[in-house]
Amino acid sequence: MHSHQDRVLITGASRGIGRAIAKRLIDDGLQVLNLDKEAPEKLFGQEIFVQVDLADETALRSALTELVSKHPITRLVNNAGIVRPANIDATTSADLAAVIKVNLSAAIICVQALLPGMRAARFGRIINISSRAALGKAERIAYSSSKAALLGFTRTLALEVAIDGITVNAIGPGPIATELFNSANPPGAAATQRILESVPLGRIGQPDEVAHLVASLLDERAGFTTGQVIYVCGGMTVGLTQ
């Protein structure tokens, strides 16, 4: 059940969770505008790829201006993110600035560009992909801070745009089997085993399990859910306190 031009802008949709989100939404009949630094291995049928470095504010604003002039875009998934793993002693100002620029600032800039079209349509769906790490994860000082910031942004924005018929929600993936995750956590390694043991469901999540929730919240029928943070974490965020 889609209308409102059936277009969704996804940042960072060329690989990982973003790729799974793009595939699911295309399967659901939406056209995907993929803003990413790198092209996907191959384009899906209803996908338009726009190459842009989300850390470059000028380039990002200009790409967005051009896109909204061609297409009304009433759905947005702020998925792009970078990690600069480091503990507190090793985290530099450059790390912090780089992570905030992509994980938080780019999300705010994308919303600013798309809001006029959403307000005109009296309809909008915005989803920010945060992380379970927002609740705390060792050696993720900059990343965890940026992902927690997205939660405050989600709640505040939800309050500001509710009157316009726009919902804003965040999703916090736990450990998900992306190429990046698998290369950092090889199956069978002791550290990977410890991660598995920390997940009540006893397994790593699949990217399409995150995509399923994204698709649900982007639907027109999800109009009464806003300002929420939903963790797709296999129960990790519940099990932490046991």
pLDDT in tens, 194-210: 989 999 999 999 999 99
Domain interval for residue 70: 4-178+207-234
Q: Is residue 191 part of a domain?
A: no
For residues 67 and 44, what is the distance between their CA atoms, to the nearest angstrom?
19
Residue among 44, 49, 123, 143 flagged as catalytic: 143
Handedness of CA 176, 93, 135, 113 (dihedral sign): negative
Segment 129-180, tens digit of pLDDT: 999 999 999 999 999 999 999 999 999 999 999 999 999 999 999 999 998 7
CB atoms within 10 A of CB 181: 18
Asked if the structure places residue 72 within a domain, the reply is yes
Look at residue 242 in the predicted model and tell me its pLDDT.
45
Residue 144 lies in a domain: yes
Say what the pTM is.
Answer: 0.95
Cα dihedral 219, 205, 83, 30 in deg (nearest 10) = -30
pLDDT tens track for 52-87: 999 999 999 999 999 999 988 999 999 999 999 999
- Residues 6 or more apart from 120 whose CB is under 8 A from it? 72
Domain assignment of residue 46, yes or no = yes
231 is catalytic: no
Specify the CATH number for the domain of residue 76.
3.40.50.720
Residue whose pair of structure tokens reads 């927002």 in the numeric block: 134
Domain count, the chain: 1
> Residue 199 falls within a domain, yes or no?
no
Whether residue 89 lies inside any domain: the answer is yes
Predicted confidence band of residue 186 (pLDDT cuts 50, 70, 90):
confident
**In a domain? residue 198:** no
- Read off the amino acid at residue 29: G
Element (H, E) at 10: strand 7-11
Q: Where are the alpha helices (DSSP H) in the chain?
A: 16-27, 57-70, 93-100, 106-121, 141-161, 179-184, 190-198, 207-218, 236-239
Residue 200 inside a domain? The answer is no
